[in-house]
Each structure stands twice: as C-alpha cells, then as structure tokens.
Amino acid sequence: MEIKKVGVVGCGFMGSGIVQVCAQSGYQVVVTRKNPKLLDKGIASIDYYLTRDVEKGRISQQDRDSALSRIKGTTNTKDFSDCDLVVEAVPEDMDLKKKVFAEFDKVCPRQAILASNTSCLSVIELAMVTSKPDKVLGLHFLSPVPLSRLLEIVKTVATSDDTLETGTQFGKSLGKAVIVAKDTPGFIFNRLVIPWQLNAVRMLEAGIATREDIDNTMKLGLSYPIGPLALCDFNGIDVVCMVAQAMYEETKELQYAPPVLMKKMVAAGWLGRKTGKGFYEYNK
C-alpha cells in the first residue's frame, strides 16, 4: 500500500511536529484539533519553526513554502475520508484515544492504517474498538519530532505484516531510523528511559547529589546531550509522571513507580519548561 495523504489528530507540540515532518517529506497532510484557536496556534508554530530553519540556512524559502502548502487544518472529520494513514496524537488518556479511533474508523477508508503516537498505552486496546485491528499499529515519534532520528513502531498481536511493512517504509521516508517494538508497557524507548529519569529524581529526593551533578554526570561521563532531570523538564514532569504511572499500573514493577517529589511538583504546577519551573527555572 502506498501512503499519499496523511491525517493527524491533534496539533499540540507532538502533533504539529508530526505534521511538519510529513509535509516536509512530500505528503499531503490534513490535521484536526477540536479547538479552532489551538489548531491555528499549532499550524502557526509549524510556520515559525520552518521560517527559523530558513533563517538558519537549513532549508530554502521554497522548501518552507512547499511544506506549508501541503498542510490543511480542519475541524471537519470528513476531510479525513481519503487519508491513507491517520496518526492519533492526543493526550495520553485511554478513553479519549479510544473515542478517536472509533470515530476515525468510521470516517476513513477500509484500507487506511490507523496509528497511535502513544508512548506507553496498550495499542491492541485501541485496535479493538475499530473494525480492522489488523490495520492498527503504534507510531511512537520522539520529541522534538523534526529533530529526533528515531521512530518506534509498535506491532500488536493483530497487526498484519503488510501494515507493519507499510508503516516501516513510511517511517523511513520521513528520514527516521525505525525500530519495531512489541506492544508492552513503555515499548523499548520508555522502558529504558523512564527508570533512568526516575532514579535521578530519587537521588535528588534523597539528597545524594545536586541536580547539576546528576545531570552533568550523564552529560560529561557518557556524552549524553541532556541530563535526566533536564529531560524531565523538557518533556514535562507531568507527562513523565503519567507515563511512569501507566507503566507501573500494568507491570507493578517498583522501578516505574513515580517518586513522591515528582508527584508533589506536578501538584504544585511545576511541570518544567512549559510552566517556567521544574527541576530548573526557565524564562517562559
């Protein structure tokens, strides 16, 4: 199956990034978000990042204009009726994602692939609210989508080989290195990263080391581009906490249980870069 038109449900930080890389890779893209103002804000952010890339000499003005011309924002789900692939990028709420999958299963053509950008939730649960679980998989893009080189594809017990192959070729067409994961809590990436981040929080919580020493140990010792606490701030402490909690609830492994400090920071609204305060403080 050839992918020509891509639909994206959600135009927040992740959704807009997915829209951008698809449009830059030559795909026609239709994107929706229920709130028209937030939809416009998401598309405007794509314009901003593409324009910045022109200013920095990464792409040409023509590349920017061509990419933007391939993007259509809409609040009408009927505009997804001719999509070959739809990627769901709404918040990590199983009930919300199931509603999205059930709705777009009815709108999209029978042969269309439905994919979730979930970073930890069960993809087979989403697949089973559709009429075609063999056409459902996970496409876990990493943040920030335009810069990350990795795409994690999640194959459920019901995903067909043809669907997996199409998803793999699609990921490669975006310039991503593709890895295939089983439909287990956290898949591959978060199964590795989340314990690393939570252990860093526990070290800070116990007074073993300062935030700077914890992050610099990984940056200088292993040449990581960012430390675990700074990464929590970048992704959103609430997001990391939610992903960890979801993994803990399914596996009951203590390594995934969110530390008390992290829960209190979420309660205080200290969510990282997006609020200006997390493990570090930022100018908004």
CATH of the domain at 256: 1.10.1040.10
222: how many CB neighbours lie within 10 A of its CB? 7
Residue 88 bears catalytic tag: no
Query: How far is 249 from 245, CA to CA, in rounded Å?
Result: 6
Sequence letter at residue 87? V
**Owning domain of residue 217:** 189-268
Domain identity same for 154 and 20: yes
Domain identity same for 236 and 127: no
User: Which of the four pLDDT bands, split at 50, 70 and 90, describes residue 283?
Assistant: confident
**Which of 269, 242, 278 shows the shortest CA–CA distance to 121?**
242
Domain identity same for 56 and 178: yes
Give the start-end residues of each E strand in 33-149.
Answer: 71-74, 85-88, 113-116, 136-141
User: Which of the four pLDDT bands, split at 50, 70 and 90, describes residue 121?
Assistant: very high
Beta bridge partners of 217: none
Which residue in this structure is represented by tokens 């204009």? 65
User: Which of the four pLDDT bands, split at 50, 70 and 90, describes residue 240?
Assistant: very high
Parallel, antiparallel or unpaired: strands 177-182 and 150-155: parallel
Query: How far is 146 from 189, CA to CA, in rounded Å?
Result: 17
Number of domains the chain contains = 2
Cβ atoms of residues 105 and 121 within 8 Å: no
Percent helix / strand / coil, the chain, rounded to 5 = 50, 15, 35
User: Which of the four pLDDT bands, split at 50, 70 and 90, describes residue 114?
Assistant: very high
Cβ atoms of residues 228 and 200 within 8 Å: yes
| Residues 51/55/58/59 CA torsion (nearest 10 deg) | 50
Tell whether 161 is covered by a domain. Answer: yes
Predicted confidence at residue 1, as pLDDT, reads 79
User: Which of the four pLDDT bands, split at 50, 70 and 90, describes residue 284?
Assistant: low
Q: How many residues can be counted in the chain?
A: 284
Predicted confidence at residue 55, as pLDDT, reads 96
Q: Give the model confidence (pLDDT) of 41-91 as tens digits.
A: 999 999 999 999 999 999 999 999 999 999 999 999 999 999 999 999 999
Active-site hit among 16, 122, 152, 235: 152
Domain identity same for 35 and 125: yes
CATH of the domain at 28: 3.40.50.720
Active-site hit among 117, 122, 140, 235: 140
Residue 216 bears catalytic tag: no
Tell whether 275 is covered by a domain. Answer: no
Average pLDDT value for the chain: 96
Tell whether 96 is covered by a domain. Answer: yes
Active-site hit among 117, 119, 122, 235: 119
**Which of 34, 40, 44 shows the shortest CA–CA distance to 9?**
34
Domain identity same for 140 and 207: no
Domain identity same for 95 and 209: no
Predicted confidence at residue 149, as pLDDT, reads 95
Residue 152 bears catalytic tag: yes
Residue 69 bears catalytic tag: no
Provide the 3-class DSSP secondary structure of residue 230: helix
Provide the 3-class DSSP secondary structure of residue 161: helix
Domain identity same for 42 and 58: yes
